[in-house]
């Protein structure tokens, strides 16, 4: 089988399209594009820059992939956007290539769902099974773990980390790192607790969830200093991999402060 390209589409000579790629009406594909098998571009999709797209993706009208970084320091350096497999990228979604200063690659994992007008900024590292709902925005250099959900119209500040299985509520302005399994809400976002709905949907056992809840209450209690509570949590729950994932995330000491509860837990 060969790629199925609509006669109105413009595909640059250097582009590499695998077998059974489908390119719909009025799509524009640049010369540095590589598209894996089974990926479908419905219509009016624009792919430019150095863009590598995996297999089985569905890309809807007016999506713009591989555009230049929205960064004043970008001067046309040879950087990339890499997208994995089996993603759904809906209308008007945008994903930008990286910057030289940020490592040169924007990476989007597999099995994600990127809804209408969602945006992945330059140099982001986005995991698998991520959902960006309508008009959700990731600033540059964000690190988004697997199974994260970002609610509608929420914005994640540049350089912010969001741990695996976290939930960001709609309209949230996230300017601080979000722990794995956490649930945040508000402007500016604060930690509401654990993402219990997500944990249950993904098959975490009742015992594990109860252990995580107990560890959360200890970690974010009012008594003692945060470092003392961190040490106590490690001592008490070191045999729970999920709790230790939260601890390791906190200890990583990235550039952004930690998103904390607004009220007592």
Strand arrangement, sheet containing 33-35: 16-17, 33-35, 50-53, 80-83, 105-108, 125-126, 143-144, 161-162
- For 20, 57, 149, the CA distances from 114, given in Å and listed in that order, are 23, 11, 10
From the candidates 119, 122, 141, 157, which is the catalytic residue? Answer: 122
Judged by DSSP in three states, 250 sits in helix
From the candidates 140, 151, 163, 182, which is the catalytic residue? Answer: 140
| Neighbour count for residue 264 (Cβ, 10 Å) | 8
**Pairwise CA distance, residues 31 & 14, whole Å:** 4
Query: Any catalytic annotation for residue 140?
Result: yes
Here the tokens at position 27 are: 């799509």
Query: Any catalytic annotation for residue 123?
Result: yes
**Is 19 within 8 Å of 3 (Cβ atoms)?**
yes
Residue 88 pairs in a beta bridge with 58, 113
**Is 192 within 8 Å of 183 (Cβ atoms)?**
yes
Query: Any catalytic annotation for residue 169?
Result: no
Helical axes 226-237 vs 206-219, angle rounded to 10°: 150
Q: What is the DSSP letter of 111?
A: S
From the candidates 123, 128, 151, 163, which is the catalytic residue? Answer: 123
- Tell me the catalytic residues: 122-123, 140
């Amino acid at each position: 089988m060969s790629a199925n390209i609509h006669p109105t589409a413009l595909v640059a000579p250097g582009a590499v399209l695998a077998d059974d790629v489908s390119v719909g009406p009025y799509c524009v594909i640049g010369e540095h594009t590589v598209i894996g098998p089974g990926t479908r571009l419905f219509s009016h999709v624009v792919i430019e820059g150095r863009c590598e797209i995996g297999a089985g993706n569905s890309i809807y009208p007016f999506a713009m992939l591989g555009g230049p970084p929205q960064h004043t320091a970008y001067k046309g350096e040879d950087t990339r956007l890499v997208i994995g497999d089996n993603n759904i990228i809906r209308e008007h979604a945008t994903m930008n290539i990286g910057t030289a200063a940020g490592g040169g690659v924007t990476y989007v994992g597999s099995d994600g769902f990127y809804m209408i007008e969602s945006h992945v900024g330059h140099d982001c590292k986005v995991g698998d099974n991520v959902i960006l709902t309508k008009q959700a925005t990731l600033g540059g250099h964000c690190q988004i773990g697997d199974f994260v959900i970002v609610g509608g119209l929420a914005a994640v500040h540049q350089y912010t980390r969001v741990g695996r299985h976290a939930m960001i509520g709609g309209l949230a302005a996230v300017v601080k790192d979000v722990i794995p399994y956490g649930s945040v809400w508000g402007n500016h976002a604060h930690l509401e607790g654990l993402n219990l709905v997500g944990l249950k949907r993904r098959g975490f056992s009742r015992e594990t969830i109860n252990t995580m809840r107990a560890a959360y209450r200890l970690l974010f209690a009012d008594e003692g200093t945060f470092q003392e509570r961190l040490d106590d949590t490690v001592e008490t729950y070191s045999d729970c991999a999920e709790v230790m994932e939260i601890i390791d995330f906190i200890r990583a000491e990235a550039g952004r402060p930690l998103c904390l509860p607004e009220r007592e837990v």
